[in-house]
Amino acid sequence: MMNRLALHGGTPVRLEKIFPIWPITAATDREKLLEVFDSGKWWYGEKVKEFEEKYAIFHDAKYGVTCANGTVALEIALVACGIGAGDEVIVPPYTFMATASAVLRVNAVPVFADIELDTCNLDPVDVERKITDKTKAILPVHLGGLPVDMDAFKVLARKYKLVLVEDACHSWGSKWKGKGTGAIGDCGVFSFQMSKNITSGEGGILLTDSEDIADRARSYTNCGRIKGGAWYEHYLLGSNLRMTELQAAILLGQLERLEEQTLRREKNAVYLSELLKDIPGISLMRRDPRVTRRSYHIYIFRFLPEEWPGVSRDRFLEALKAEGIPCGNGYNIPLYKNPLFQRRAEGPGYCPTSCPYHGGKVDYTQVVCANAELMSREGCWIPHTVLLAEEPDMKDIAEAIKKIWEHRKELSDA
């Protein structure tokens, strides 16, 4: 029974052992939360300010502006950087919908450039091909916590006079050449949604070294108010997007453990990669030596179907789950294949398929990003919680994949 696949009635590699459950909390978290609860001061105040300052320092940024969630943080970043109606913003198609929908929400036009197959990150070479006279910004994503090639994107931003906004919603604690992600471009944004490596259920933050961007972002989140202005004076078309004191209290507790957890995930991921590198049928992601710390929101590898005749990626993942290893297929279509982008409409005003401010139609049904489409079919994800376990648990993951490889002929999709 030990030699049979669990999917076929054999004993799983992990029969009773469980991986860490998220979120991880401590008694001090409860104390911080109760302190705010008992104070009666639940609204935007000192705890929010304290978290903004500490998180900005953690990521080597001068300013932090919190908000309701990572999705609106992206919108705030674009508005604060002057992106508006008809502007083109280059984004990757292998990411969460918010990366592109935030562009639409500010009446700008998403332009999809392909990703690198061995990082899943936006490809600077394809980005340069997509730049036009309407391009105003590049919005790369540090997918899974792996920083993009920020040197290449900074060169492009300078060369073409573009805004560089980092979607750092997977990269709390990641560093590029010693500096925290989110503080390298003009600004960067983070999410604290429930699944994230630091969480308050929902929440977000924008980081920047620019006081002007920080001030505009603050105004946009705080109903259009400005520093030094009266409470009922509103200068920008802002909204109420503030974080609460209760959320900030939870995040302050989580932040105390973030560095240790980041280092633990990174250590386990490096060890896991060493165990997996010689197993046929899978391909690991490349790590650029300029990445000096990686947060690992997701451990990603490719399933190579040509080496698994008759076996699909999803069948492989089904077998891996049966062996007791948490895993998933991630983004199973590129963003441009979502119904929002595939719909057709005639006449002006039907963004994203046409935009009167852009001056031309955008037909997303004709977009093809070959690498993103391949990763959508072949990508395999292991969640960050798994990497908070111990080295023997990493051995279990490798053992489970080896077991499936050895029994691959029994794993037909038929």
37 catalytic per annotation: no
Write the DSSP assignment of 57-82 as a string of letters.
Answer: HHTT-SEEEEES-HHHHHHHHHHHTT
Counting other chains too, the contacts that 317-323 makes at CB distance below 8 Å and 24 or more residues apart are 317/380, 318/7, 319/5, 319/6, 319/7, 319/404, 319/411, 320/380, 320/400, 320/401, 320/404, 322/5, 322/6, 322/7, 322/12, 323/5, 323/6, 323/12, 323/13, 323/14, 323/400, 323/403, 323/404
Written as six digits, the tokens of 413 are 């999709």
Among candidate residues 47, 142, 170, 216, the one labeled active-site is 170
Q: How far apart are CA 369 and CA 122, in angstroms?
A: 11
Rounded to the nearest angstrom, the gap between the alpha carbon of residue 285 and the centroid of all alpha carbons in its chain is 16
225 catalytic per annotation: yes
55 catalytic per annotation: no
167 catalytic per annotation: yes
To the nearest 10°, report the CA torsion of 206, 207, 208, 211: 70
Among candidate residues 14, 142, 242, 315, the one labeled active-site is 242
Q: How far apart are CA 95 and CA 120, in angstroms?
A: 9
294 catalytic per annotation: no
314 catalytic per annotation: no
247 catalytic per annotation: no
Among candidate residues 142, 196, 337, 403, the one labeled active-site is 196
313 catalytic per annotation: no
User: What single-letter DSSP state applies at residue 18?
Assistant: -
To the nearest 10°, report the CA torsion of 385, 388, 391, 397: 0
Among candidate residues 96, 296, 299, 316, the one labeled active-site is 96
| Beta pairing class for 291-293 and 175-176 | antiparallel
* Nearest C-alpha neighbor of 86 from the set 104, 102, 109: 109
Among candidate residues 87, 167, 393, 396, the one labeled active-site is 167
Among candidate residues 136, 225, 293, 294, the one labeled active-site is 225
Among candidate residues 130, 193, 357, 361, the one labeled active-site is 193
Write the DSSP assignment of 360-381 as a string of letters.
Answer: EE--GGG---HHHHHHHHHEEE
Among candidate residues 161, 227, 232, 366, the one labeled active-site is 232
Residues constituting the chain: 414
> Helix (H, G, I), strand (E, B), or coil: what is residue 291?
strand
* Nearest C-alpha neighbor of 13 from the set 413, 394, 287, 378: 394
Q: How far apart are CA 125 and CA 85, in angstroms?
A: 26
Which amino acids are annotated catalytic?
Answer: 96, 167, 170, 193, 196, 225, 232, 242
